[in-house]
Chain A
Amino acid sequence: MSRQRSAKALMARHQYIFFIAPAIFLVLGFTAYPALYGVTISFTNMHFAYPDFRFVGLENYWRFISWSDLPKVGFNTVFFVACVVALQLSLGLLIALLLNKALFGRRLMRSVAILPWIIPAIIIALMFQQLFNGSRLGIMNALLANFGFDTRSWLSNPNEAMAVMILAVVWRGVPLSIILQLGGLQTIARELYEAAAIDGATRWQTLRFITLPNLKPILLINLIMITSGTLNHIDIPLALTGGGPGNSTEVLALSLFKQGFQSLDAAYASTIATIILILNLLLTIAYLRVLRRKDEKDD
């Protein structure tokens, strides 16, 4: 009897296993396992066109370092990520500050500002392709013609193509910054502002000494999220420019896709993936550090 009861108690205490096990297995199987498996592929010469492959050590990594496109792709990646991060973070902050004002119609404004976030990447790519259509039929060319600009073939010129790509990614990404930073702004205690107002602080001083310092953890988290999100982003570059013209908009994540599924070089694609994974890991460590520091402060 008592044994039965203790068995039952034991069951009750460990019942959680049945609740969490399916989730854990699925998540491990389809996120952690492929990530590790990808790392092992990078040490082989796996190719989608050939059945056999063998261990080749660091060969793919040497190939990567001496890759003739690396300077171009590396520069593109850094430039792309830096521009997107700078624009997305600052525009997100400005709009969040705007939406945090006690204005009539604020909820409607918030819904509008967040709208690009829900549009699928493929649709955004198609849309920007048409907006920046290179002929005089393109609506951007038509609008700019009103101001005396010449027709530009946007996506056929290296610099313009990069600019349009950044614009498209930022257009879609700003809402996430807004959501995060608006949430951050709303956690700042009102008393701080009241105290500042009593002390006769100017608006600039309040922003500089109360809003920004208190928003710093959220800004940092946002910075890290945008950096990794942009670094890993393939959808819009692939569907909008495909890396072209030439390789002028080819970023590292897109090279991964092209090597793997156009050149079918699975091993080389996995090498690039591993390098991206390491960059992500560093960003994640930074993310967790910020979170921990934030928690300590909250407690």
Chain B
Amino acid sequence: MTDLAQSAVTRNRRNSRWTTGRIVETALSYLAFAVVATIVLFPLTWVLLGSFKNPSEIFAYPPTIWPRDFTWTNYADVIRRTDLPKYLLNTTIVTAFTLVFTLAIGTVAAYGFSRWRFPFKQTILVTLLVLQLIPSAVNIVPYYVMMSWLGLLNTHVGLILIYTATHIPFTIWIMKGFFDTLPESLDEAAIIDGCSRFRVFWNIILPLSLPGLSAAGFLTFLAAWSEFLVPLVIANSREVAVMSVGLYNFFGIDSNTAYHYAFAASVMSTAPIVIAYLFAQEYLVSGLTSGSEK
């Protein structure tokens, strides 16, 4: 709350201020945080633990939280009896291509915006930001029509095109924020040495921008991996379905039949993101804030 003030003042006379009031306050803060942590972690833990329960235990009353015995049956069943492995493979393909194209096109453009002055630059940047705000809900009918013109319904290419286009604006904003912090004298020195602009960008600027790249990359990865509405509409056949569409069609609203698969399938579908999050976390906050402060 006013902790900043508190810490600023107490820094000078630390140790002398562990009054009862402060102890109570710290205890209350931890208590409040325990409530938050429970609300966040309980559902997730319950799904994770549920994925290791025997099907018989999942359908038994009273429901348990901690599995009576741990088993991999559900995972084995999901892998052998459902199409989830295929859906996950499709998701991986679409996400990987989206990631490469978005970062390539987005960082190149960000470099252009960072290093040249040209008319309407600020207008174009703000327009990009505004276009980013157009939700996929609004564009979903036109997407369907456009993809049918282009013959890209039920293809991964269609998804990659749309994902790449919609993730480029924030990539530009984040990366431009980063490039702006690197001195232009770096570029000039290399240009005098005979480097082309693109070489400067590729060999000098980009390697220095790893934190920004990780942040933009993680956000793109997260969005592409999780996207639901667009693939549901333009790529919903069994062969090309991504994870979200597969899960929706498989565990859709009316089917409680495959209930015991749902836990394991959910864990398998979320694990890649959680792993990526653990890696990107370091850079995430700094990357995000540098983009927004501009």
Q: What is the interface of chain A, defined by CB distance below 8 A to chain B?
A: 12-20, 22-24, 26-35, 37-38, 41, 46, 48, 94-95, 97-98, 100-103, 109, 111-113, 115-116, 118-123, 126-128, 130-131, 133, 136-139, 142, 171, 179, 183, 185, 188, 190, 193-194, 196-197, 201, 203, 206-207, 211, 228, 232-235, 238-239, 241-242, 244, 253, 256-257, 260-261, 266, 269-270, 273-274, 276-277, 280, 284, 287-288
Contacts and interface: CB of A to CB of B under 8 A. Distances in A.
Contacts of B3: 100-102
A203 B1 contact: yes
A22 B132 CA distance: 16
Contacts of B65: 139
B7 interface: yes
Nearest to B60: A137
B5 A284 contact: no
Interface residues on B, range: 35 or more
B108 A122 contact: no
Contacts of B240: none
B229 A137 contact: no
Interface string B122-163: 001010101111111111111111100000000000000110
B89 interface: no
Interface stretch (B73-81, B206-214, B262-270): B262-270
Contacts of B4: 100, 185, 188, 190, 193
B166 interface: yes
A35 B62 contact: no
A121 B228 contact: yes
A137 B139 contact: no
A183 B292 CA distance: 10
Nearest to A125: B248
B43 interface: yes
A207 B140 CA distance: 43
A31 to B, nearest CB: 4
Given A19-B111, A101-B3, A203-B2, A280 B63 contact: no
B142 A37 contact: yes
Nearest to A130: B262
Nearest to A102: B7
Instruction: Across the A-B interface, give the 3 residue pairs with the lowest CB-CB distance, nearest first.
Output: A19-B112, A193-B5, A30-B165
A177 to B, nearest CB: 13
Contacts of A118: 222, 273-274, 277
Contacts of B63: 137-139, 142
A137 B58 CA distance: 8
A116 B269 CA distance: 14
B178 interface: no
B259 interface: yes
Contacts of B177: none
Nearest to B172: A23
Given A183-B292, A203-B1, A266 B266 contact: no
Most chain A Cβ neighbours within 10 Å, of B62, B124, B172: B62
A120 B270 contact: yes
B24 to A, nearest CB: 13
A280 B135 contact: yes
A127 B131 CA distance: 32
